[in-house]
Structure 1
Amino acid sequence: MVGDEPVYNRGWPVVSTAANTELRAVLLSQKQSIAKATVEVQLRNWEKAEAAALAKVESKGLGQLLGFDFDNIVFKGELGEHAESDVDAISTAISQADESLKNDIWTWERLPYAIRCLGVARSSSNTEEGSSSAERPAKRSRVQGKDELVPDLDEWIIRNERFLRALSRRPDPAPDAWKFGLVRMNQLPIVFGAACTAVVDDATGATTALKIHRGPVSSLPGYTVLDGKRIENIFIQPSNKAFKKRWDFMTDGLLEGLNWSNIVVAGGIILGALLTPEVSGANKPEEWQSSDIDAYIYGLSPTLANKKIEHIAATCKKNLPPGSPFLVVRNSQTITIYSKWPRRRVQIVLKLVKSPREVLLNFDLDICGCTWDGTDVYLLPRCVRTLETATNTFVMDLINGHYLGDRKATRDKRVFKYANKGYGLRILPSYISSLATYDSEKNLSAIACGERHFPTVSVSKLAAAARAWTSRVVRKYIQAGHDNTPFHWPYKAYQPAKSDKPVFSHAMLESYHQVTSEPLGRSCLTGFTLFMRHVALWELEVEGKISIYEDLWATDTYGEGARKALDDHNRQESQVAQWNTYDRYGKLPLPAARITYGDSVEQVLLPKNDILIPLTLDWSFFKFANSNIVSALQRAKKSGELDDSDCVAPLTLVGDALPGEDEETIDDVEVIALWRLSKVLNWQMLDRRIDEIREVLWAYHRANERLIAEEDTRQQFLLTNISKRAIRTTVEDEHEALGCFIFRSPLARWVARKPYNEKATTNGVL
């Protein structure tokens, strides 16, 4: 124990610092039925968050500011659809206002991005000195509602996104309401302003691309890393028509003929098609060769969503050459359609989102926040800003976010993947200045939650120390004779790379001791110093001193024999479950199916192909989970979304694992169960109660993967996994979480995990 915080024997806290205050109190209470109490407190917090968000958008429109009711202004279409005429309408409506207010109104956090950009540009040109109101924030202090006026553009984007999330929670929105706040393709010249010029074909006079000029990275406020591959100019598609042509080429016509209603594709493949116009100097399609087609279904019930997946699969199969292999794979979060490499996989994410805007708002990295609905491209303001600056803005959701919350956390391999494409990471000045709160040991210990923190020093000093650490490690590896063979366990698992430089991997900076209770586990993103060690390795490659072997992080290709590999995976899962439970229960029938597959979507959605996960859990939570999930399914049935056959309890006891009636504390007895994810329960976001229970069930699964551990240790594992997996709608205290991230000390200060190499000199570099 450190203070009131339990810690593991290696020094890291049992409960994640990402757990909110109320959940933390439950997990540390040492009461019985912690799993049930977790679900209940999570639901209370979610209901509060929903109510608070809806309170911000009580008006059907934007509401009032500066004494003006924006809902009474007549716009041409929906606000934001026609930016130039909308700015004219607003300017006319506020024509009698004080001059400073006319300028400041364009920084209102509720306005669409295109209107803000155009309004600020016009007001800037109208001021005597040619400067915008963003440079004169002091005048805003006299304005009622000043908190919603945000002169700094990066801060405005963060605040505007909170408003868009609140809008997304409105019940029964209009069909196209999701488009509000997003940037359309034809608005890109407006939002980029003077930085954007058209590239015109001399022969035809047609615009073939938009060229975006970027200022130096030194002109951007804040602390920037991973900018070594940033380029001065980028080129983007000039129109939806040009985008569609590139999209068809990059997807090889795989979705030709698709009925796009209630379907969007988002993420990297859209970015790739956007950034590859057919002009000299533009990015090349080959740079996105490994990108999947990530599809999302919105606004449908589970039954209709499954029908949509069948339609997507049928469309893909129809567009394949005759005789092409075709495989549909189902797991707990996606259904993926495979053919033969290099034809792209189509991955359908099993989340019942309300709208495409909700899909975009959940993206981790800013640069990925773009989508295609078969007709138009839409971008989040933060995606547009990143195209302009080549930097993703750092927020704590990148570290502590949740894929079922407002915004999911990212992964280290994604951060470095996009750094290699020229998109770095920037911590805003307001974040840096907030660290002054922890300028004393007392203030820092108040947020420690049992962690070891560095003394409060500047971000630049922490970064310098991390770079020195990595340089020392690399130098000692080279002195020990390391060459161009990737260095990882088991020895000689990887062939020498085609490089005349020493070849390193990010795994070589890691240790088995680098384990945390944070949501990202062993990721280098769990702390700033650890992250900067990996940034330093990347910088050494940019400088030409080493090469980095990326495949130790991720393999983007897929080979033959997929069916056998999936069968082997499920067989191994079943064998582990049987081994775990044998000493206590004897031999039990524990069929595991973490991944299933078939020749069609219809086949993989059959009950015999449901996902089956063996669990060890408390009898009380077994009953609680079944009862509440069935109740939620029945509510969905009443609304017409499901049938009677869909309202089935997901947990079943295995063999003779039922607790005896003579047990004194029967509810606390552990039971063995099979957790079935049906074609309905495979979908997330059908009901929040189901989602919260689902995350706790996953926590049980992870905590009890090895029943050989002592019961007290497994209880600690359960607390850790609940605190990691519990859905976080958003970060509770952004700056407090930042303090934990910045000053967190890496748990391991050495590299060698075990003998990776037969050479004695490389068995323990540090």
Structure 2
Amino acid sequence: MVMLNVPALGGKSGPLLASTVHPQVRDILSDDSLMGASLGEAMIQAIEMQMKLHTEQDLRFLETLDAKDEDIVLPVTQPGSQDGQDDVLPSTSEGHEPPTLFAHATARVAIELGKASETEAQEIASRVPLVASSSFKDAIFNFAPLPYAVLSQALRFSSMAKTPRGSKQASESGGASQGADAVDEWIIRNEKYMRARLVLDNPRDDGSPAAPTGDETNPSLLRLGIDKSGSHWKEFMVGLGRDSKRVFVNSNPQDSSSSTIRIQRPDKADLPGLLLLDHYRKEVIEINALSAFQSRFETMIFAALKGLDWSNVLVAGGIALAALTSVTDEEAQKSEGSDIDLYLWGLTADQANAKLLEIEKVFASNLPLDEGTGKPIKYAALRNLQTITFVPERYPYRRVQVILKLCLNPMAILLNFDLDQVAVGYTGDEVWMLPRASRALVTGYTTFTMDLIHGSFLESRKATQCKRVFKYGERGYGLRFLPSYIEALPTVPLNQKTTTEKNVPEESLPRDELNVTLREERARVAWWLASHNRKFRLPFRDRRVSMAESRKLNTGEIADSGSLSGWQLFARHIASWELAQLGYFVLFGQEETLVSDFYPDDPLAYDDGPEFSWNEGFSLETLRNAVDAANNFDEDMLQGSLRELGIIPSRYEDFRPRKDFEKLVQVNAEKYLNERVPLKRVILASSLHEALAEPLVAIVHLPKNFRAHAESLLKGASSSFEDVIKTNAPLPLPVAHQLDAGGDAGVSSDADSILSYWINGPDPKAHRIMREGTEGDVPIVPHWQLVSRETDEVYEVVHAFRRAHRNLVVEAEMRNRSVRRQVGRRLVRPTERSERDAFERWACTRVLFEHHGDASRRILAVPRWVVFCRFILTQADAHHLSDERYQVDWSEESNDGEGGDGVGSSGRSAAGSKKSEPPQTVEDWVATTFGTSRRFVLRSYDWPDWFRQCLPPVHLLPALENGCDAIPSEFGDDWWTTDPEDTDPEDTDAED
């Protein structure tokens, strides 16, 4: 086999720029020589290009509203450029025939069915016999702009109608388009249309809504009152009270109370595609009806929002989903640590500021009384650039967190949510869901698209995090890859071995890269864990394994901090999770006992939140300590940067007496530093007014030209910059310490940059005057995102510099490279990407792992053919593995027999090395695994023992729950001895 011509992920530096970066922006940022002024100019150009691309995107959205139904296609079926740029080839209607009268009629009939009662639907079906035909359903699925509730009811009534003579129902036609995947593919296309409609609510510079390119509205949609005067977001969402009978078609009223809705989920066999992480998926669930939801919601949040004017407020995310799906008190207790996420929509910044004050007033008025004092318990306001959170002094009373994004409407808010099932929100009178959220409740799966990998916090849908995928897997929601995605991938030829199971014919197995890689990583993880079989001496609770042991990657991708950077690594973590659920070990690292940032759903967290425990041991004092620790860390980093720049002396280089040294520090500080501004990337105060009365302050090291440009763009915003160092300071001072041209270049780069206080909020001097009791006009203004695209773009670039240049001890070249990588991750790509190109690269790219740590980790790096052939490998094959690289091909000499049976890469037969039958008892397994010959380190005569290691069969796990003393204690986890020279040092990543 010749591997796909795709790059390998990983290595010491990894690809610099994320594949989501627009090609024109990538061209600007890809120059490795960028530093200082040239780097600043590149950032200016990147922002200008982003604004141009945003304008082009709005025009394309308007064109989508005028597009023919057949032009709103499933993204993964659209051809890409195949040049690694992920560009979508221009769509065209050439060759398409105009919609037929049948198509127009079908849409109108579907709308009538969607609005009809059951009796009215029967009358419609009697007048239009083709309602029950497969051609009718095909035509409906071609109509992407249809509201989902209408589509769902039309399909239900169509299935109930009698089939006319000479036609067939979908279930009888055998057409793949009539399967469950047709609904899910339609939902993806429908969401594409919904996103485009948001532009109708987006005001132009003059304050008026965006104007559509054409005046005509689809005549079928006009029958629903949907025109181009706005997004009509309510019509395209699913309302629990309004639409439950239309959408939850599998519910059985006879088995449900009036307060709950029973959903009989489809069998897994009826959901085509690849189904994963569904160990806890239930076949039947109940959700609360609207009235029961409202009661459950009030109970779960301890009435924290009682009395709130719900106008322009949406509660969304985990707490809304929990209130919807928790029909018992026991289920509700599982979410007692969740906070309440509030989003404001349809408001100006001034209106939103007033709403913030109202929310605080309501929150404070609903705090419980302290039994000792009879007064309400205390609370604090915690603020960073992304959120303001009202925190009660006692757990488990709910934290109320306001996300500082001003969205157009609830549909825009929920479209940004990553996993399907969490796209649920509550407006005080109705529970709103995206179609994909209601569909996830029915199927029990999130449908995979590349938005889960490449989305952005400021884009229409953000990327997810691996820990969230696994967390919701434990809550009963799996992940599903649709057949259309699987069909977009290349396949592995039949003459290549793709399983370790000797009794499973190769031709019976799916051979696309998605399934083959999954089988590979399941076998690899089982092998790797088997190399640690000694852990079965321990009881189950002590057999702990972390997903982090499978290594993280250092790439330019948005998801590089976890397993979602590539399918191979994700499949590896899926395999670990699956074995943990079977009871082989405890998978740790998934617990959410710590609150590490105040927007945990953002995969590009700004590290602005303190780390603290939210449990019974919580107190405002511990939160204050966590806030102080976070801010003191920034102060320490600033001191290190000042020492590196030579502004203050380093104790490591200056050995004079401490008193003299401290005097020198003071003298230099007075001589070269401007008035110090306290660093606060997070503020804890007793009220919202106090939290907003002082500024958030961070240190940023910016090119001078970019800072000047940013200041010009941020005029009028509550953001400013001040110099840390006086202009008379002889920078850069440590020139004498540079020993090479690269170092001199770094000094030159830093000379073109300026160390600045980045201030968000009121002028620090005005705040000080106010604290001293002097009157001063101090504006109380938070920074709201999504108000100005240009401001958001500037903030993203400044955040990139803040993160990459937070430690000036790091070489300038590495810091500048890190800036470009950070910007590549953060800048939203405004134009449509090729879903097919992006998915193929994500699914097929191989991970390049270096050999690190104990020798058993080599299992994580051997090529695919070794994993599948390990039970038939010869000694010569094993001997040469140390010279293999992960990106090795399936060479012709490695498998020149049919299926590769009995032949290793050396071409010699491996007779007698077949996989043994599984042991039936613990004693048999111990004897097989830890026999006398296996008490030695790996030698030439016992190499098969290590390659043949297997985990105990599942049926033996109950007997091993308390551990097994029969396993020899002299076995160590690293019993496969290696030459120390074969072990490479650990990678380090300067930026993280």
TM-score with structure 2 length normalisation?
A: 0.63
Change in Cα spacing, 1:316 to 1:435, as seen in structure 2 (3 Å) is same
Change in Cα spacing, 1:482 to 1:691, as seen in structure 2 (3 Å) is farther
The partner residue of 1:726 within 809, 827, 832 is: 827
CA distance in structure 2 between the aligned counterparts of 1:79 and 1:586, rounded to whole angstroms: 76
The partner residue of 1:315 within 358, 362, 372 is: 362
Is residue 757 of structure 2 the alignment partner of residue 674 of structure 1? yes
Q: 596-605 or 540-549, which moves further after superposition?
A: 540-549
CA distance in structure 2 between the aligned counterparts of 1:578 and 1:79, rounded to whole angstroms: 70
The residue that corresponds to 1:636 in the other structure is: none
Q: Are the counterparts in 2 of residues 7 and 14 from structure 1 also a CA contact under 8 Å?
A: no
Matches within 5 A, 1:738-749: 738-748=839-849
Q: Could you tell me which amino acid in structure 1 is paired with residue 578 of structure 2?
A: E
The partner residue of 1:164 within 194, 201, 218 is: 194
Q: 337-346 or 736-745, which moves further after superposition?
A: 736-745
CA distance in structure 2 between the aligned counterparts of 1:151 and 1:409, rounded to whole angstroms: 23
- Tell me by how many angstroms 1:84 deviates: 4.8
Is residue 662 of structure 2 the alignment partner of residue 611 of structure 1? no
Q: RMSD of the TM alignment (CA)?
A: 4.1
Matches within 5 A, 1:64-75: 66=100
- Tell me by how many angstroms 1:415 deviates: 0.5
CA distance in structure 2 between the aligned counterparts of 1:139 and 1:342, rounded to whole angstroms: 48
Q: Are the counterparts in 1 of residues 114 and 154 from structure 2 also a CA contact under 8 Å?
A: no
The residue that corresponds to 1:272 in the other structure is: 322
The residue that corresponds to 2:689 in the other structure is: 602
The residue that corresponds to 1:402 in the other structure is: 456
CA distance in structure 1 between the aligned counterparts of 2:545 and 2:431, rounded to whole angstroms: 39
CA distance in structure 2 between the aligned counterparts of 1:330 and 1:10, rounded to whole angstroms: 36
Deviations 1:185-204 (A, max 9, x none): 132232232x2112568xxx
The partner residue of 2:19 within 12, 17, 29 is: 17
- Tell me by how many angstroms 1:408 deviates: 0.2
Q: Are the counterparts in 2 of residues 84 and 118 from structure 1 also a CA contact under 8 Å?
A: no
Structure 1 residue matching 2:343: 3-state secondary structure:
strand
Q: 705-714 or 120-129, which moves further after superposition?
A: 120-129
CA distance in structure 2 between the aligned counterparts of 1:352 and 1:79, rounded to whole angstroms: 36
Is residue 64 of structure 2 the alignment partner of residue 56 of structure 1? yes
The residue that corresponds to 1:301 in the other structure is: 348
Q: Could you tell me which amino acid in structure 2 is paired with residue 221 of structure 1?
A: P
The residue that corresponds to 2:838 in the other structure is: 737
Q: Are the counterparts in 2 of residues 86 and 115 from structure 1 also a CA contact under 8 Å?
A: no
Deviations 1:651-693 (A, max 9, x none): 2222315899999999981111121223646211110001111
Is residue 706 of structure 2 the alignment partner of residue 654 of structure 1? no
The partner residue of 1:361 within 415, 428, 433 is: 415
Matches within 5 A, 1:35-50: 35-50=43-58
CA distance in structure 1 between the aligned counterparts of 2:831 and 2:572, rounded to whole angstroms: 28
Q: Percent identity?
A: 28
CA distance in structure 2 between the aligned counterparts of 1:65 and 1:152, rounded to whole angstroms: 20
CA distance in structure 2 between the aligned counterparts of 1:518 and 1:656, rounded to whole angstroms: 38
Change in Cα spacing, 1:551 to 1:429, as seen in structure 2 (3 Å) is closer
Is residue 425 of structure 2 the alignment partner of residue 371 of structure 1? yes
Matches within 5 A, 1:32-181: 32=38, 33-57=41-65, 66=100, 82=115, 84=117, 102-107=136-141, 108-124=143-159, 125-128=161-164, 131-132=169-170, 152-171=182-201, 172=209, 177-181=232-236
Change in Cα spacing, 1:289 to 1:4, as seen in structure 2 (3 Å) is closer
The partner residue of 1:576 within 630, 637, 660 is: 637
Q: Are the counterparts in 2 of residues 501 and 545 from structure 1 also a CA contact under 8 Å?
A: no
The residue that corresponds to 1:286 in the other structure is: 333
Structure 1 residue matching 2:684: 3-state secondary structure:
strand
CA distance in structure 2 between the aligned counterparts of 1:746 and 1:590, rounded to whole angstroms: 45
Q: 556-565 or 396-405, which moves further after superposition?
A: 556-565
The residue that corresponds to 2:383 in the other structure is: 330
Q: Are the counterparts in 2 of residues 614 and 674 from structure 1 also a CA contact under 8 Å?
A: yes
CA distance in structure 2 between the aligned counterparts of 1:212 and 1:96, rounded to whole angstroms: 29
- Tell me by how many angstroms 1:616 deviates: 0.5
The residue that corresponds to 2:282 in the other structure is: 231
Deviations 1:373-422 (A, max 9, x none): 00111111101111111110111111111010110011111111100001
Q: 563-572 or 411-420, which moves further after superposition?
A: 563-572
CA distance in structure 2 between the aligned counterparts of 1:121 and 1:81, rounded to whole angstroms: 9
Q: 665-674 or 43-52, which moves further after superposition?
A: 665-674
Q: Are the counterparts in 2 of residues 692 and 726 from structure 1 also a CA contact under 8 Å?
A: yes
- Tell me by how many angstroms 1:505 deviates: 2.6
The residue that corresponds to 1:507 in the other structure is: 548
- Tell me by how many angstroms 1:699 deviates: 1.1
Q: Could you tell me which amino acid in structure 2 is paired with residue 183 of structure 1?
A: V
Q: Are the counterparts in 2 of residues 36 and 624 from structure 1 also a CA contact under 8 Å?
A: yes
Structure 2 unaligned regions, length at least 5: 73-97, 202-208, 210-227, 370-375, 494-510, 596-612, 649-672, 733-744, 762-779, 856-969, 979-992
CA distance in structure 2 between the aligned counterparts of 1:616 and 1:259, rounded to whole angstroms: 43
The residue that corresponds to 1:644 in the other structure is: none
Matches within 5 A, 1:689-728: 689-728=790-829
CA distance in structure 2 between the aligned counterparts of 1:669 and 1:7, rounded to whole angstroms: 33
- Tell me by how many angstroms 1:761 deviates: 4.4
Matches within 5 A, 1:196-235: 196-198=251-253, 207-235=258-286
Structure 1 unaligned regions, length at least 5: 141-149, 440-455, 485-498, 634-646
Q: Are the counterparts in 1 of residues 200 and 231 from structure 2 also a CA contact under 8 Å?
A: no
CA distance in structure 1 between the aligned counterparts of 2:643 and 2:754, rounded to whole angstroms: 13
Q: Could you tell me which amino acid in structure 2 is paired with residue 612 of structure 1?
A: V
CA distance in structure 2 between the aligned counterparts of 1:166 and 1:80, rounded to whole angstroms: 26
Is residue 313 of structure 2 the alignment partner of residue 263 of structure 1? yes
Change in Cα spacing, 1:457 to 1:436, as seen in structure 2 (3 Å) is closer
- Tell me by how many angstroms 1:580 deviates: 1.9
Is residue 555 of structure 2 the alignment partner of residue 516 of structure 1? yes
Change in Cα spacing, 1:553 to 1:97, as seen in structure 2 (3 Å) is closer
Q: Could you tell me which amino acid in structure 1 is paired with residue 286 of structure 2?
A: F
The residue that corresponds to 2:240 in the other structure is: 185
Q: Could you tell me which amino acid in structure 1 is paired with residue 189 of structure 2?
A: R
Structure 2 residue matching 1:284: 3-state secondary structure:
helix
Is residue 577 of structure 2 the alignment partner of residue 538 of structure 1? yes
Deviations 1:198-221 (A, max 9, x none): 2568xxxx6232111112223211
Is residue 620 of structure 2 the alignment partner of residue 564 of structure 1? no
Q: Are the counterparts in 2 of residues 619 and 667 from structure 1 also a CA contact under 8 Å?
A: no
CA distance in structure 2 between the aligned counterparts of 1:174 and 1:467, rounded to whole angstroms: 52
- Tell me by how many angstroms 1:549 deviates: 2.5
- Tell me by how many angstroms 1:89 deviates: 13
- Tell me by how many angstroms 1:90 deviates: 13
- Tell me by how many angstroms 1:612 deviates: 1.2
Q: How many residues align?
A: 691
The residue that corresponds to 1:434 in the other structure is: 488
Q: Are the counterparts in 1 of residues 389 and 401 from structure 2 also a CA contact under 8 Å?
A: yes
Q: Could you tell me which amino acid in structure 2 is paired with residue 598 of structure 1?
A: A
Q: Are the counterparts in 1 of residues 423 and 434 from structure 2 also a CA contact under 8 Å?
A: yes
Q: Are the counterparts in 1 of residues 471 and 590 from structure 2 also a CA contact under 8 Å?
A: no
The partner residue of 2:299 within 246, 249, 258 is: 249
Structure 2 residue matching 1:576: 3-state secondary structure:
helix
Q: Could you tell me which amino acid in structure 2 is paired with residue 326 of structure 1?
A: Y
Is residue 691 of structure 2 the alignment partner of residue 593 of structure 1? no
CA distance in structure 2 between the aligned counterparts of 1:69 and 1:432, rounded to whole angstroms: 29
Change in Cα spacing, 1:174 to 1:69, as seen in structure 2 (3 Å) is farther
CA distance in structure 1 between the aligned counterparts of 2:123 and 2:42, rounded to whole angstroms: 54
TM-score with structure 1 length normalisation?
A: 0.81
Q: 16-25 or 611-620, which moves further after superposition?
A: 16-25
Change in Cα spacing, 1:462 to 1:257, as seen in structure 2 (3 Å) is same
